Amino acid sequence: MNTELDKVKSTITISLGLKNRLRDVKGNSSYEEFIGQLLRFRNELAHKDNYIELQKFQRREKVYSFNDFKIVFSYNKYNQSPNFVFDIQIVNIRQNGQNIISINFGNDELHSAYKLYFELLTLAIQTEIEPLFKHKGRFEDYYLWRREFDRFGLSKKAFENDVMEKLDDYKNGVDYK
């Protein structure tokens, strides 16, 4: 079976055991993304507080609709950096098919503007992050969640309650719709 790593021309010799461990640890990431993540981690450890990470972002556009408004907004594509932050920018606002400059929310303008921002952020997260954690009916899907719990320093008990218990229930036929 040829993998992405097999296709890369290099003079690096990797044992089969190391290659299998690398495949397990990288999860759904490509080898290039995983090696980039390892290099970032190494730089953070080596340079401590003197480390600046430059990230190249790809922008994506999405449309959010409510009432008679359509808001076209862009955000940066998720890149698996521990320092990742979504950058939401409104590109265009249309009301009844006409371009408008801003939305008049009335008396509660600041609260409504924040609510709109969080609606756009939610849509970006649903598009970029949620697919990484969709359960495909396989018990080994918990690896992605384990990695996130470790990254955020959450306890093993929290992982058992929030993920493993649900996966065990799923295996036993409990439906959480």
The 10 Å CB-count burial string (b at 16+, else e) for 73-112 is bbbbebeeeeebeeebeeeebeeeeeeeeebeeeeeeeee
Instruction: Write out pLDDT tens, residues 60-91.
Output: 999 988 888 888 899 988 877 777 788 888 88
pLDDT > 70: percent of the chain: 76
pTM (predicted TM-score): 0.49
DSSP states of 11-73:
S----HHHHHHHHHHHTTS-HHHHHHHHHHHHHHHHHGGG--------EEEEEEEETTEEEEE
Q: What is the mean pLDDT of the chain?
A: 77
In whole angstroms, give the CA distance from residue 149 to residue 158.
8
Residues 29-41 have pLDDT tens digits of 777 788 888 887 8
Task: Tell me what pLDDT residue 75 has.
Answer: 92
User: Is residue 93 helix, strand or coil?
Assistant: strand
Nearest to 133 by CA among 122, 123, 125, 144: 144
The answer to whether 126 touches 116, Cβ cutoff 8 Å, is no
- Ranges 79-83, 134-138, 147-151, 164-168: which has the least confidence: 134-138
